[in-house]
Structure 1
Amino acid sequence: MTCILAKIFTRPTMIRVKGHLVKLSICALSLSSCASLKKTTASKKATTPTTTESAANRRVEFLDGISTKRNTYTPKTEKKDVSISKNITRSSANLEMAQGWQFKYAQLLDVAVEQVLNQRLYSFIEDWWGTPYRLGGKTKSGIDCSGFVNTLMNTVFAMGLSGNSADLFTQVKRMGVKDLHEGDLVFFRIHHRRISHVGIYLENDKFVHASTSNGVIISDLKEPYWKKYYAGGGRL
């Protein structure tokens, strides 16, 4: 009897124990699955770049057309020839050697210094600059327009020239303003039907002459006064 009771009471207990073992096994399996899932998730997070890192590793386009990746671009140093001897032009060399009178007359003529080259001509103009006008005069105390032109052409260009403005007009080969060069003559009819004034062409529509108001001076053919009375130009 005792054995029977023992069997009766022992069997359910074993069943309950077995049930607990089953439950424990299921929990153990669940925990191991959770652990593996966490490991997988962690590994995925570790291998997946963040938004910031992804943006940093994108290719960046610069304005000058150079594309590179972060921390991978090494700029190349270009060798440039900066030697002075190879960068000096002829005009800059001429400018370095230019003298004071060249700068002065380049400014008066509104041209580059390199274009003012005839030192004999501009020395003569400088020497006679401001000499007052005097009709029939031929000296530095007073000189008229034809007297000044004759003196300059004979001294600077060795022309052996003589005569008044009207006479000189008949001796030249007529030329348009665009074709005039340094040393050509320019003529005017001022309040007369005949030629009454003469000057010597320089550069850039500028000419030198003995004016009645300012004496020996440089004027511009484009000035309204001279443009109004301009009669033509020519070459001897």
Structure 2
Amino acid sequence: MKKRVLFYLVAIVTTFSLQSCVSNYVVSQPNIYKTDAKVTPVVVKAETSDNIQAKRMLASLNNASNSIKASMIAEAIKHEKTIDSILDEASTYLGTPYRYGGTTRSGIDCSAFVLSVFGAAAGVNLPRVAAAQSQEGDSVDKSELKKGDLVFFSHGRGRISHVGIVEEVDENGEVKFIHSATSRGVMVSSLNDKYWGPRYRFAKRILKENSLVLNQTSTQSQIN
């Protein structure tokens, strides 16, 4: 009898212990963190056909602009080389004696000197006399003179009677020109010279950048 009572007591104690364990068991929950930060969605837009076409047009314009710049640079270089060729040719005449009506290196006058130099170095055909040469090209202000320009002079009554080629314009604006003078033949003088300065009348530019002022197509059409 005592054994049976003891068994029941053990069973009751065990039951209460199990209930206590169950009631004390807590299932842990995952931690949930909250934030006020707003997440901006990334939207990837596909390029439209208009955008693609606009980009292609812009690229074409840039290529065309680069091509034009390259062409302008090439023309400027070509122009400078032509002017240098003219002055190099002119310098080979230095010391050649002056001869009225002369057209050779044994004796040459001012206008024949100019037409010979331009013809040999640039393929430009100028009139024979200075007065007629003064009608060619574009007028140039004295302050804008450059190498290769023609300067014209008058010895009286306003009639053009002498011509030279600008050889140099220094940093102070002094203009030096090469010409065939009656006194010393082909030489270099300055527009500041007390003789030539007062006799200076105007200047003309026969060659300009990108094109010749003189129309050489007429010669080509005659050939064709």
TM-score normalised by length of structure 2: 0.51
Match of 1:208 among 154, 167, 178: 178
- In 1, Cα distance between equivalents of 2:91 and 2:159: 30
Q: CA deviation at 1:174?
A: 1.4
CA contact 2:86–2:118 (8 Å) conserved in 1? no
Q: 1:231 aligns with which of 194, 201, 216?
A: 201
Q: Which residue of 2 aligns with 1:95?
A: none
Q: Contact conserved, 2:150 with 2:203, CA < 8 A, in 1? A: yes
What is the CA–CA distance in structure 1 between the aligned matches of 2:178 and 2:139, rounded to whole Å? 19
User: Partner residue of 2:12?
Assistant: none
Q: Is the 8 A contact 2:149 2:203 kept in 1?
A: yes
Which letter does structure 2 place at the counterpart of 1:150? L
Q: Aligned partners of 2:159 and 2:87: how far apart in 1?
A: 30
Corresponding residue of 2:99:
134
1:152 corresponds to: 117
Distance 1:160 1:117, change over 3 A: closer
2:189 pairs, out of 201, 204, 219, with 219
Aligned positions, number: 122
Of Structure 1 and Structure 2, the greater helix share is in 1
- 1:198 pairs, out of 163, 179, 194, with 163
CA RMSD of aligned residues (A): 2.1
Q: Retained in 1: the 8 A contact 2:83–2:148?
A: no
- Please state whether the residue corresponding to 1:128 is helix, strand or coil: coil
Distance 1:147 1:117 in 2: 19
The structure number with the bigger radius of gyration is 1
Residue aligned with 2:113, SS: helix
Bigger Cα displacement from structure 2, 201-210 vs 157-166: 157-166
The answer as to whether partners of 2:154 and 2:160 remain within 8 angstroms in 1 is: yes
Q: Within the alignment, does 1:164 sit opposite 2:129 as a pair?
A: yes
Q: What SS does structure 1 have at the residue aligned with 2:147?
A: coil
How far 1:172 moved relative to its partner? Answer: 2.7
Which of structures 1 and 2 has the larger relative contact order (alpha carbons within 8 angstroms, sep 6+)?
A: 2
Deviations 1:183-203 (A, max 9, x none): 111000013420000011121
Structure 1 stretches of 4+ with a deviation exceeding 3 A read: 115-119
Alpha carbons of 1:172 and 1:123: their partners in 2 closer, same or farther (altered >3 Å)? Answer: closer
Alignment check: 8 A CA contact 2:82 2:122 kept: no
1:181 equivalent in alignment to 2:115 = no
Kindly, what percent of the aligned residue pairs are identical? 38
d(CA) in 2 for partners of 1:183 and 1:133?
21
Q: Which ranges in structure 2 are unaligned for 5 or more consecutive residues?
A: 1-79, 170-174, 207-224
Structure 2 CA distance for aligned equivalents of residues 147 and 174 of structure 1? 21
3-state SS of 2:155 partner: coil
Structure 1 residues 153 and 118: alpha-carbon distance in aligned structure 2, compared to 1, 3 A threshold: closer
Name the TM-score, length of structure 1 as normaliser: 0.48
Aligned-pair CA distance for 1:116:
11
Following superposition, the deviation at residue 140 of structure 1 comes to 0.8
In structure 2, the CA distance between the partners of 1:234 and 1:118, relative to structure 1 (3 Å rule), is closer
Deviation digits for residues 143-163 of structure 1, max 9, x if unmatched?
Answer: 000000000111112212222
Q: Which amino acid aligns with 1:225?
A: Y
Taking a change above 3 Å as real, the CA distance of residues 216 and 167 of structure 1, as seen in their structure-2 partners, is same
CA contact (8 A) 2:152 2:201 kept: yes
Shift in Å at residue 227 of structure 1? Answer: 0.9
Paired AA for residue 156 in structure 1:
A
Structure 1 gaps, min length 5: 1-114
